[in-house]
Structure 1
Amino acid sequence: MNARTRLLLILMSVVGLVWMADAGYRNLIEGPAADRERELDRLTRQVAETQDSIIKTSKAADVLAVLEQFSLPYDPELARAAYQDWLLGLVQQAEMTGASVDASQPAPVKIKDRDSKRQKEIYVRYNYSLRARGNLQQVTKFLYLFYRSGHLHKISSISLNPVGGGRSVDMSLAVEAIGLSRCERKGELSPYAATRLTHDPFQDYLTIARRNLFSRGGDSVLAKTTVTAVTVSSDGVAEAWISLPDNETSVLRRGQSVETEAHVIEVVDVLDRQVLLDVDGQVITVRAGETLAEATSSG
């Protein structure tokens, strides 16, 4: 064996030793270290997911506790009767007439329990149909009272059919309410008020009823409504004399109003031979002897 061959063998041996050392380092040190890092990452993700699940569960429990405060009672028959009476009372508060409420059978909603694998009731659904008659202001008041109440309920559908030339409407509602099985009240409805509405005072919603969209002759009413005179009463208060389409005359002072077939007319101020009127939320100046239609077009 010559010197060159021995040198090649030595180099090959050195290369083999280096490769074996590198492979051993990877298998004995780098491999386990990488496995430990992967396992640590997996455990970290699992802990984070568990923490998120605990937070979500806590939040869900808090939300559920709040919903239970607004739920219908847990006894289905008592809940159905109590809510039906409440709807009728709401119609009376709104001063509507001809009220009738029909209630369907309570419908329990169940899910499969995670542990026992059995069906478990979580809430009961109640469906009602309500009919009543009133003007737009009374309908607005009913809806205002409905959405201010603290119950788990909603209006699924509503229809308004004008009667009497648009002075009144027949209101038909489909209402759905929910009673949670964990509610602690047996037959009493929730005493709490809700915060669903953007504005709290009912007066903020009267603009909905000021312009009667169901009236057949909205513009003709303004053309037949005239400020006939501006006078001062015996006690020194300025008054506006307003002739209405039905040939009646209303004598109004500041802040007073009159309701026509299609409009609500309120006296904002009474000046010398002219009156400031709020007609459906629009303030116009009407001179004595001028119709509201003329004042609206000129203004």
Structure 2
Amino acid sequence: MNRRTLLLLIGAIAVGGIYFADQAYRTWYEQPLDRLESRLDGLRLRERRAGTTQAEARRDVRRLDAYAAMSLPFDLEKAQSGYQAWLLSLVAEHQMTQAAVDPGQARGVEVRNRTRRGTRQVATRLPFTLRAKTDLVRLTAFLADFEQAGHLHKITSLAINPIGSGTEIDLTLSIEALSIGACEREADLSTLTWNRNVSPPESFAILARRNPFARGFSKALTDTRLTAITYGSDGEAEGWFRVGDESRTRSARSGQSLELDLVRVEVIDILPERLLVRIDGQTAWLSIGGSLDQALATETP
């Protein structure tokens, strides 16, 4: 074997050794290390998920405690009769007439079980139907008190049918209350209150006072006119209004209000020939001889 052949053989052996050494390095070190890192990543992901699940579980426990404090009692028969009595007392408080509260068929609420297969029941829905006759003012107050009550309940549907001239309405409410199994009370309703209303009750007074169901609202605006502006012995100006077919006129000074059946007129300022008034929240100028509907049709400068 000459020198050149020997060198080529040594080179080939060296290349083969390097190749097999690289394969051994990959097989016995890199690949096991990659598998180990992959398993570690999986364990870290499981740990994060477990931490998230634990945080969610703690949050759910806090929520469940809060809901249980407002839940109807766990005894369904006592919960149904107690809530029915509470609704009737609220109806009586707001002077609704011909009222009736009918309970419906209870239905279970199930959730997926985290530890076992299948579902488990955590609460029971108790439906009720309320029927009564009332007006918008009383209904508005009733709904405000219903919303503030510390019970797990909600109105699922509301039907209003005007009766006669529309000053009275026939009301039908579908209500659903919730009884949670974690509730510790057997028979007593919650005495908590829940301030969920983002708007003050006064913001709904205009709607109740205007009553879109009542007949004759436009006529009330047309038939109310400013007849004169006079000054009393104390120098204070006052506006005089003729209202519909009334034989007498009504007067109001600046800062006072004129309460009509379907509308409220607030006198803001009095000038020699006109008044600045607020009609159910809308500001307008009312001239002598002009009616409320004419004032509303004219933009306030």
Please confirm whether the aligned pair reaches a TM-score higher than 0.5, indicating the same fold.
yes
- Give TM-score, length-normalised by structure 1: 0.86
| Distance in structure 1 (CA, Å) of the matches to 2:80 and 2:179 | 10
Aligned mates of 1:96, 1:270 — CA distance in 2: 41
Superposed displacement of residue 39, structure 1: 1.8
Residue type at the aligned position of 1:260: D
Contact preservation (8 Å) 1:80, 1:106 = no
Q: Pick closer, same or farther for the CA change 1:117–1:53 going to 2, 3 Å.
A: closer
Q: Distance in 2 between matches of 1:101 and 1:150?
A: 19
Pairwise CA distance, 1:91: 2.3
User: Aligned equivalents of 2:190 and 2:234: distance in 1?
Assistant: 50
1:156 alignment partner AA: T
Q: CA deviation at 1:274?
A: 4.6
Q: In the alignment, is the contact (CA less than 8 A) between 2:284 and 2:298 conserved in 1?
A: no
- Gapped runs of 5+ residues in structure 1? none
45-54 or 32-41: bigger deviation: 32-41
Query: Partner of 1:243 in structure 2?
Result: 242
Matches within 5 A, 1:152-163: 152-163=152-163
Gapped regions of structure 2 (runs ≥ 5): none
| Cα distance in 2, alignment partners of residues 100 and 73 from structure 1 | 22
1:223 Cα deviation (Å)? 0.8
Cα distance in 2 for residues equivalent to 1:210 and 1:18? 95
- Compute the displacement of 1:17 (Å): 1.0
Range with bigger deviation, 91-100 or 42-51:
91-100
User: Percent identical across equivalent pairs?
Assistant: 35
Which structure 2 residues correspond to residues 1-12 of structure 1 after superposition, within 5 A?
1-12=1-12
1:258 correspondence with 2:262: no
**Per the alignment, do residues 48 and 192 of structure 1 end up closer, same or farther by CA in structure 2, a change over 3 Å counting?**
same
Displacement after TM superposition at 1:282 (Å): 1.0
Give 1:212's aligned amino acid: N
> 1:279 aligns to what?
279
Give the Å deviation of 1:222.
0.8
CA RMSD of aligned residues (A): 2.8
Displacement of 1:127 in angstroms is 0.7
Partner of 2:189 in structure 1?
Answer: 189
Bigger Cα displacement from structure 2, 167-176 vs 222-231? 222-231
- SS across alignment from 1:166: coil
Instruction: Determine helix, strand or coil for the equivalent of 1:129.
Output: strand
In the alignment, which residue of structure 1 is the partner of 2:204? 205
Matches within 5 A, 1:20-59: 20-59=20-59
Q: In 2, Cα distance between the equivalents of 1:239 and 1:145? A: 39
What amino acid sits opposite 1:178 in the alignment? L
Q: 1:118 to 1:298 in 2, by over 3 A?
A: closer
Partner residue of 2:223? 224
Matches within 5 A, 1:43-82: 43-82=43-82
Matching residue of 2:89: 89
Letter in 2 for 1:146: F
Aligned-partner SS, 1:214: coil
* Distance in 2, Cα, partners of 1:132 & 1:232: 49
What is the rounded CA distance, in whole Å, between the counterparts of 1:271 and 1:217 in structure 2? 30
Which digits, 9 at most, give the CA deviation of each residue in 1:50-106, with x for residues without a partner?
111111111111111111121111111111122112222222333333322111133
